Amino acid sequence: MSVKFTLRGRTFDLRKEDIVSVARGMSPGRIQKYSVVLNGKSFPIRQIVAAATTVPAIEITSQDAYRILQKFGFDISIAD
């Protein structure tokens, strides 16, 4: 099942598997507040959405990333 969403005026149509596969081989960046676990590693949510969409992370808000990842059914954690 794919999910269609718009980010910064661009429309994307991705599958959950696309999000998971983009994280393979990536090193997690610094988690500021929100994270998602993919392939056994915790990643900042903005980093994952940026990698999956090729939209620069600086252009993605945490709110955007949170909303997008929730649509795919990912569990998002809040850092202590």
Higher pLDDT, 64 or 1: 64
- pLDDT for residue 80 is more than 90: no
- Domain borders along the chain are 2-78
- pLDDT for residue 3 is more than 90: yes
Give residue 1's pLDDT: 83
Over residues 22-68, the pLDDT tens digits come to: 999 899 999 999 999 999 999 999 999 999 999 999 999 999 999 99
Task: Decide: pTM greater than 0.85.
Answer: yes
DSSP code per residue over the chain? -EEEEEETTEEEEEEHHHHHHHHTTPPP---SSEEEEETTEEEEHHHHHHHHH---GGG--HHHHHHHHHHTT--EEE--
Give residue 42's pLDDT: 96
